[in-house]
Amino acid sequence: GENVEQHPSTLSVQEGDSAVIKCTYSDSASNYFPWYKQELGKRPQLIIDIRSNVGEKKDQRIAVTLNKTAKHFSLHITETQPEDSAVYFCAASGGTSYGKLTFGQGTILTVHP
Amino acid sequence: GAVVSQHPSRVICKSGTSVKIECRSLDFQATTMFWYRQFPKQSLMLMATSNEGSKATYEQGVEKDKFLINHASLTLSTLTVTSAHPEDSSFYICSAPLTARVVGKQFFGPGTRLTVL
């Protein structure tokens, strides 16, 4: 089955700085890669996603890049704000695990004012 | 957007009792739903895939006789934790894709916090 590794496990930045979280996946047939933000006790919220036929996608301060050859994808948050503080999860789906999401271990992002 | 609800949001029960958690797709039909478990400070782990009209598919290491899943309609899946024990205390979250035909966005329920005393 699919295996997703996520780094770093914690990330601390100053307000206004950029934050980058990286994930690698094992199943070359996976074709859908969402990123979620989860606040304590709440459901995961989709913040951006990318499909395997696209190399990069951007939505205001958030961007995701995908390198299919290397099987890794990254989340980039620019101009971070304290409200960006949360746990972020990457996930992969498709391929042999059709429809099922395999999550990374999560990254605790703290943005200091 | 599509909405998925879960009930109850919190439940506290005694060891040995059974607890039922409902997951509903409110404005779309879901032939497939997924059940995840999340322990404190950990990631979401898929427990099983709930299939409308057929048996659920369980992930390796998940006891199907302990975690009973029923998907009797296109909008409702239930997870019953039988003979719950303290180690079953966790955050249970369901999700449903808008369509089972194309791999893509899933909609999560708000989760159920289970505490077994």
Does the beta carbon of B9 lie under 8 angstroms from any beta carbon of chain A? no
pLDDT at A18: 98
Angle (CA) B102-A105-B111 rounded to 5° is 65
Q: Determine the Cα–Cα distance for residues B47 and B30; give it in Å rounded to an integer.
A: 18
Does the beta carbon of A35 lie under 8 angstroms from any beta carbon of chain B? no
pLDDT at B101: 62
pLDDT at A41: 92
Which residues in B lie closer than 8 A to residue A102 (C-beta atoms)? 46
Locate the chain A residue with the closest alpha carbon to B104.
A32
> Which member of A42, A49, A105 has the closest CB to residue B43?
A105
Backbone angle region of A65, left / alpha / beta, with phi > 0 → left and psi within -120 to 50 → alpha: beta
Output the DSSP codes for A50-88: EETT-SEEEETTEEEEEETTTTEEEEEE-S--GGG-EEE
Q: Is the pLDDT of residue A54 over 70?
A: yes
Average pLDDT over chain A reads 95
Mark yes or no for CB contact B103/A102 under 8 Å: no
pLDDT at A98: 65
pLDDT at B104: 78
pLDDT at B76: 95
Band of residue A23 on the pLDDT scale cut at 50, 70, 90: very high
In this predicted model, what pLDDT tens digit does every residue of B62-113 receive, in sequence order?
999 999 999 989 999 999 999 999 999 999 999 998 776 667 788 999 999 9
pLDDT at B50: 93
pLDDT at B58: 95
Does the beta carbon of A41 lie under 8 angstroms from any beta carbon of chain B? yes
Mark yes or no for CB contact B46/A44 under 8 Å: no
pLDDT at A99: 78
Mark yes or no for CB contact B105/A41 under 8 Å: no
Does the beta carbon of A100 lie under 8 angstroms from any beta carbon of chain B? yes
* Sequence-separated (6 or more) residues with CB below 8 Å from residue B115: B10, B11, B12, B13, B89
To the nearest whole Å, the CA of B75 is away from the closest chain A CA by 18
Least confident of A57-71, A86-100, B41-55: A86-100
- A43-65 mean pLDDT: 95
Locate the chain B residue with the closest alpha carbon to A88.
B43
Band of residue A96 on the pLDDT scale cut at 50, 70, 90: low
